[in-house]
């Protein structure tokens, strides 16, 4: 993963280990996707760590990336290009997963 280019709202890095990028994979018309967006944004806000960044990905627009991750349905959440939650989970579990990734930096 170190050779991948990460882009998120103006953040570009060749290595991305300085940050945790929370990718919420969504689809148009997905009712559960709004809940996942809110959950992820709230978890990030509560952590208050500038190294955590949000990025929403429409699976139709970035189908190759979704397939690469193994996304079978939406919503799904990936951290730094690794599918962590193939289905929505609790905010507490997402926060813990982000903290684990931050500890690995």
- Tens digit of pLDDT for each residue in 19-73? 999 999 999 999 999 999 999 999 999 999 999 999 999 999 999 999 999 999 9
Q: How many domains does the chain have?
A: 1
| pLDDT surpasses 50 at 7 | no
DSSP state of 5: P
Domain assignment of residue 72, yes or no: yes
Domain assignment of residue 1, yes or no: no
- Residue 46: CATH number of its domain: 3.40.30.10
Domain assignment of residue 53, yes or no: yes
In whole angstroms, what is the distance from residue 93 CA to residue 18 CA? 22
Q: Which domain, by its residues, includes 78?
A: 6-91
Domain assignment of residue 61, yes or no: yes
Question: What global pTM score does this model have?
Answer: 0.82
Domain assignment of residue 104, yes or no: no
Which stretches of 48-82 are DSSP H helices? 63-69
Domain assignment of residue 102, yes or no: no
Is the preceding peptide bond at 75 cis, omega within 30 degrees of 0?
yes
Domain assignment of residue 17, yes or no: yes
């Amino acid at each position: 993963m170190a050779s991948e280019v990460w882009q998120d709202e103006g953040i570009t890095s060749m290595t991305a280990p300085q940050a945790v990028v929370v990718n919420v994979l969504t689809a148009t018309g997905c009712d559960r996707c709004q809940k996942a967006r809110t959950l992820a944004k709230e978890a990030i806000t509560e952590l208050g760590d500038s190294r955590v960044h949000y990025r929403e990905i429409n699976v139709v627009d970035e189908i190759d990336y979704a397939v690469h991750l193994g996304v079978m349905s939406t919503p799904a959440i990936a951290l730094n290009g690794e599918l962590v939650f193939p289905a929505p989970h609790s905010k507490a579990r997402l926060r813990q997963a982000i903290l684990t990734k931050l500890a690995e930096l």
